[in-house]
Amino acid sequence: MPGRGKARLEPKPDEAIDRTSPIEFEFDGRKLGGFKGDSIASALYADGVRVFSRSFKYHRPRGLLCCSGNCPNCLVTVGDEPNVRACTRSIEPGLQVHSQNAWPSLGFDLLSLLDRLHWMMPVGFYYKALHRPKALWLLGRQLIRRVGGLGSIDINAGHEDEFSSRNLHADVAVVGGGPAGVAAALAAAEAGSSVTLIDDQPGLGGHLRYTRPTGDGQDRSVGEGAADLAGAVGQFPQIRTLCSSTVFGLYQDNLLAVLTGEGVVRLRAKHVVLATGTQETPLLFENNDLPGIMLSTAALRLSSLYGVLPGRRAVVATESPDGYEAALQLLEAGTEIAAMVVSSDLAAGEAVDELRQRGVTILTGHRVVRATGRGRVKAAVVAPVGSTSALGTRKFRCDLLCVSGPQQPVDALLHQMGAAQSGVTLSGEVAGADGIEEIERQGREAGQLAAQAALSGSSVGAGMPGHQSAALPPPLAGKNGRTYVCYCEDVSLHDIEQAIDEGFGDIQTLKRYTTVTMGPCQGKMCGRALAGICTAHSGPNGDEPMGDTYTTYRPPYQPVPLAALAGRERMPMKRSPLDHVHRGLGATMVESGPWLRPHNYGSPAGECVAVRERVGIIDVSTLGKMEVLGSDAPRLLDRLYTHRFSDLAVGRIRYGLMTSDNGVILDDGTVARLAEDRYFVTTTSGNADVIEEWFNWWNAGAANDAHVVNVTAAYGAVNVAGPRARETLAKLTAIDLSRRSFRYMRAVEGEVAGVQCLLLRIGFVGEAGWEVHFPAEYGEYMWDAIMDAGSEFGISPFGLEAQRVLRLEKGHVIVGQDTDAVSTPYDVGSDWAVRLDKDDFIGRGGLVVAADRGLQQRLVGFITQDASFPEDGTPVVSGNRPVGRVTSSRLSPTMKQGIGLAWVPPELALEGETIEVMIGDRPVPARVTLQPFYDPDGHRLRS
């Protein structure tokens, strides 16, 4: 039956659950009940579940430890999501919760056999064992991977759309919603700042959510203090509150990475207040990981927030005031306190007096040395501090052992920033404040300071606080092999001591060797203990103490689902205005830089024939297009291209080759002069943005009248080419397209099909043809108009593949395909496009050097003896030695022979020379040519 569970206490005000809203969910196939506001863990605990998971290495049973999302003990699988912390995930109707890391079941895990064999697996055993024979490691690795690890990932689970990322801004970000954080947020808001207040728990108040307010002398109930704080924050609309949200990274210039239920928030703040408090840590004794042993704050959370009785008979072992508060509340809830165990010689304070009054046994100067029980704590064995014998040992029967070890400041975020921190203030317990008045005063001051800094734009640095020295008792006698320092990775005190003995005398290498602090909790439970152990130990040589230090903090502070980091998938792709036309025609699309372009429309060979014999149309909207404007435009072009453009007549076009300053080919295209002070420049398809930046880079700070406007997307463009191209276009325009009037390499502006266009007569594919540029929004209309006009001449669309073949027949180079990071214009035979007789230009220095040095390699054409041809990228060989490389090769539909371009040494770059190319694994002779294969004199092009 869903409902209260077996162990619910009487209702109290300010508890987190709503007892009027029961919720049913499933755990390992069993129906369970809880209330709205319950975490998975509290509902399970109320139902009597004590074992929540199996440990990483030895499969030891583990129960609730921190109950606040900081330890690894309650990791479960929810639906298909592994490694969910049961103590921070709310229950929802129908939720499917499964235990993980146990087989066949959580209660009876066969792999717990590993616990018996733990002597076989000392620290770093995988570095030491399974070396010989080699096959043993392969086997061992498989086994380790099977039994080790946490949870299993369902690779078919689609979590892509679950998270969406957001970007937020605040004058002041306050991390931690306890009394210090709230005081800071209120003070900053009062001073006029916008504030974002973030807390990882479902409600504001920090420890006041589960403790009684103290200090104001009034008798108030548990949780009332937290409710007051939340109410005060609610008065300020300029405070944005993010609860159940974890700041997992603090980056330079105050960028906070926050994991919320909705996704990752990138919060940029002018100033950050860290009011993250302290973390209670466990104690070290034998079997300190038995279910039923939990932090005192965990017991408080269970009873105060969820109305769940943590145990019937408890031992409370404490080194912090949290322990006393826990004991008092446990008493009130009806738990019998078998004993309070205090390591110091003195126990004092109001709470202690009250406990004494109620007849609780308080053992000062004692500590727990061992817990007993199988799968669940049955008793705590207590001994005087410093005692090494059984003398004075006492045993207390219990089903709950609350531990309250040294407080560890939660300052990981500050340490993540390293030396780069500024604009960050620590406040409250994390900064060493003690007592509610001091905490709140510090919070207010931090808030005022933060607001002042944010509003004035100044940055105030925070001091990097040193960690307080860990006053940890010396190592214990007994079976330290079962005294767990690190719950995540099953690293025992014995493991650490052994590693130190083996020579790992530095905490950083100790960490890497033993994996302590490297599990899901990232040192939250074990960092303090590890530092304490290192302080107590001399180094491996027995000389100097290892020092009190922490391992390096790195983001993320808490585990973050990769799906949350990824957010929504976004992949900006460029689309031509004719994109839907191609899809409608069933084109095979191919990625070409940032564009998707038609590779073919069914038959590349047929498309080639159409262009050579009739008329073809290809979408060239993807060409980069720029207008270069102004009276200094000619000078700018002369400076950036190897050719000269200042003497180009209006209405004419010239090929442009652009190199980087060391003479390597960057890009090519055409430059048309439309007016004295206006050029229309095209670049290769993938390079429009890069070339625009290149232009502006060299023109930066020049204070001249030369300006570049990128109009790539403004124009759709098609190349209409072939013997019937003229007749096709003539049906659509009044422009005189005749051979004499519209000559090769001329540009004309005019109407085509009623739309104002720019026509460029150029010939990449080697036939008479026009590049027609039109405003992009007319794209589909223009395509249809030209196709209609060309239908009587057998017009056919052609794709990239046909274009590649056709241009190869002409021997035209594609920059990036046929050239690489060292190719100069000389190497590709474009000497004619380099004008060393003009003023300095970009590339001149490198080209002069290249010209002096002479050719190292040369791009040549080659033709095979039959229809076979080599693959792109295969070697050119000479006597079994590679001497060059094929960059492009295809079957020429016109010549019915294999043709291509290849890099060869200069001595082979002679007309008629024979080279060998690899077809399959066979060297095949091919003839070198420096001429175009097709229409070498350009008759057809100019016709």
Partner 1 sequence: MATRAPERRTAMYHLQLAMGAVMGDADGWQLPMHYGDAGEEGRWLRETVGVSDVSPLGKIRVVGAEASKAVAFLVPQAAEQDIHSVADANSSLERGGRLLSARLAQDEFLVLTPAGVASSAVEAMRHSGSNGSHAVNVTSGLCGIAIVGPATHELMSRVAELDTTPRAMPDLTCVQSRFADLQALLLRRDVNGIAMYQLYAGREFGEYLWEVFVGSARDVGGGPVGTQALLGLRE
Partner 2 sequence: MSFLLNCPNCGERSVNEFRFGGEVVSRPAQGSPETDWSGYFYFRPNVAGVQQEWWNHRYGCRRWFYALRDTTSNSVKSTFWPGDQPSEGTT
**Which one of partner 1, partner 2, none interacts with residue 692, CB within 5 to 8 A by kind?**
partner 2
Rg, C-alpha atoms of the chain:
38
**Cβ 714 to partner 1 shortest distance, Å:** 3
**Which residue type sits at 431?**
A
- Note whether 845 binds partner 2 by CB under 8 A: yes
**Which residue type sits at 610?**
A
**CB 32 within 8 Å of CB 49:** no
- 439 burial (CB, 10 Å; 0-12 / 13-18 / 19+) is buried
Instruction: Pick the closest to residue 545 from 537, 556, 553, 533 (CA basis).
Output: 537
Rule CB under 8 A: choose which of 10, 543, 837, 840 binds partner 2: 840
- Note whether 696 binds partner 2 by CB under 8 A: yes
**Which one of partner 2, partner 1, none interacts with residue 420, CB within 5 to 8 A by kind?**
partner 2
Piece of 157-165, 542-550, 593-601, 700-708 that binds partner 2 (CB under 8 A)? 700-708
- Which residues make Cβ contacts (< 8 Å) with residue 204, sequence separation at least 6? 177, 178, 182, 197, 226, 229, 230, 233, 241, 243
Task: Between 253 and 332, name the residue whose CB sits nearer to partner 2.
Answer: 253
**Cβ 726 to partner 1 shortest distance, Å:** 16
- Note whether 703 binds partner 2 by CB under 8 A: yes
- Note whether 662 binds partner 2 by CB under 8 A: yes
Rule CB under 8 A: choose which of 844, 858, 885, 890 binds partner 2: 844
**CB 276 within 8 Å of CB 175:** yes
**Which one of partner 2, partner 1, none interacts with residue 568, CB within 5 to 8 A by kind?**
partner 1
**Which one of partner 1, partner 2, none interacts with residue 778, CB within 5 to 8 A by kind?**
partner 1
**Which one of partner 2, partner 1, none interacts with residue 712, CB within 5 to 8 A by kind?**
partner 1
**Which one of partner 2, partner 1, none interacts with residue 166, CB within 5 to 8 A by kind?**
partner 1
Piece of 375-383, 695-703, 781-789, 890-898 that binds partner 2 (CB under 8 A)? 695-703
The helix, strand and coil proportions of the chain, stated in percent and rounded to the nearest 5, come to: 25, 30, 45
**Cβ 391 to partner 2 shortest distance, Å:** 58
Rounded to whole angstroms, the Cα distance separating 931 from 804 reads 17
Task: Between 690 and 730, name the residue whose CB sits nearer to partner 2.
Answer: 690
User: Dihedral through CA 534, CA 536, CA 539, CA 541, nearest 10?
Assistant: -160
Continuous H helices in 28-178: 40-46, 113-116, 125-128, 134-147
Three-state SS for 67?
coil
**Which one of partner 2, partner 1, none interacts with residue 780, CB within 5 to 8 A by kind?**
partner 1
Q: Tokens in use for 680?
A: 């229309």
**Which one of partner 1, partner 2, none interacts with residue 713, CB within 5 to 8 A by kind?**
partner 1
Continuous H helices in 578-687: 579-584, 604-613, 633-640
**Cβ 750 to partner 1 shortest distance, Å:** 14
- Which residues make Cβ contacts (< 8 Å) with residue 78, sequence separation at least 6? 40, 84, 89, 95, 96, 97, 98
**Which one of partner 2, partner 1, none interacts with residue 693, CB within 5 to 8 A by kind?**
partner 2
Three-state SS for 655?
strand
In eight-state DSSP terms, residue 643 is: S
Instruction: Pick the closest to residue 345 from 364, 325, 323, 317 (CA basis).
Output: 364
- Note whether 543 binds partner 2 by CB under 8 A: no
Three-state SS for 266?
strand
The number of C-alpha atoms within 13 Å of 327 and in the hemisphere containing its C-beta is 31
**Which one of partner 2, partner 1, none interacts with residue 938, CB within 5 to 8 A by kind?**
none
Task: Between 354 and 627, name the residue whose CB sits nearer to partner 2.
Answer: 627
**Cβ 83 to partner 1 shortest distance, Å:** 27
Task: Between 253 and 676, name the residue whose CB sits nearer to partner 2.
Answer: 253
Piece of 69-77, 172-180, 247-255, 445-453 that binds partner 2 (CB under 8 A)? 247-255
- Note whether 661 binds partner 2 by CB under 8 A: yes
**Cβ 571 to partner 2 shortest distance, Å:** 16
- Which residues make Cβ contacts (< 8 Å) with residue 70, sequence separation at least 6? 279, 521, 524, 525
Task: Between 45 and 695, name the residue whose CB sits nearer to partner 1.
Answer: 695
Rule CB under 8 A: choose which of 103, 236, 251, 655 binds partner 2: 251
Rule CB under 8 A: choose which of 138, 420, 562, 895 binds partner 2: 420
**Which one of partner 1, partner 2, none interacts with residue 587, CB within 5 to 8 A by kind?**
none
Rule CB under 8 A: choose which of 350, 501, 693, 751 binds partner 2: 693
**Which one of partner 2, partner 1, none interacts with residue 895, CB within 5 to 8 A by kind?**
none
Facing residues of 24 across strands?
33
Q: How far apart are the first and last CA of the chain?
A: 90
**Cβ 184 to partner 1 shortest distance, Å:** 21
**Which one of partner 2, partner 1, none interacts with residue 662, CB within 5 to 8 A by kind?**
partner 2
**Which one of partner 2, partner 1, none interacts with residue 661, CB within 5 to 8 A by kind?**
partner 2
Task: Between 240 and 838, name the residue whose CB sits nearer to partner 1.
Answer: 240
- Note whether 700 binds partner 2 by CB under 8 A: yes
Piece of 76-84, 95-103, 249-257, 337-345 that binds partner 2 (CB under 8 A)? 249-257
Instruction: Pick the closest to residue 293 from 98, 51, 521 (CA basis).
Output: 51
- Note whether 419 binds partner 2 by CB under 8 A: yes
Task: Tell me the angle at which helices 321-333 and 296-306 cross, rounded to the nearest 10 degrees.
Answer: 40
Continuous H helices in 108-149: 113-116, 125-128, 134-147
**Cβ 841 to partner 2 shortest distance, Å:** 9
**Cβ 906 to partner 2 shortest distance, Å:** 21
- Which residues make Cβ contacts (< 8 Å) with residue 883, sequence separation at least 6? 875, 876, 877, 904, 905, 908
- Note whether 849 binds partner 2 by CB under 8 A: yes
CA dihedral (154, 157, 160, 164) positive or negative: negative
**Which residue type sits at 183?**
A
Task: Between 6 and 583, name the residue whose CB sits nearer to partner 1.
Answer: 583
**Which one of partner 1, partner 2, none interacts with residue 775, CB within 5 to 8 A by kind?**
partner 1
Rounded to whole angstroms, the Cα distance separating 375 from 398 reads 14
Instruction: Pick the closest to residue 313 from 366, 374, 361, 353 (CA basis).
Output: 361
**Cβ 420 to partner 2 shortest distance, Å:** 6
**Which one of partner 1, partner 2, none interacts with residue 714, CB within 5 to 8 A by kind?**
partner 1
Residue ranges in contact with partner 1 by CB under 8 A: 164-169, 194, 266, 268, 568, 570-577, 579-580, 595, 627, 629-631, 677-678, 705, 707, 709-715, 731-732, 753-755, 775-781, 785, 788
Rule CB under 8 A: choose which of 96, 252, 538, 646 binds partner 2: 252
User: What is the b/e burial string over 335-367, where b = at least 16 CB atoms within 10 angstroms of the residue's CB?
Assistant: bebbbbbbbeeebeeebbeebeeeebebbbebb
Q: Which residues bind partner 2 (CB under 8 A)?
A: 251-253, 255, 268, 419-420, 661-662, 692-693, 696-697, 700-701, 703, 839-840, 844-846, 849, 852
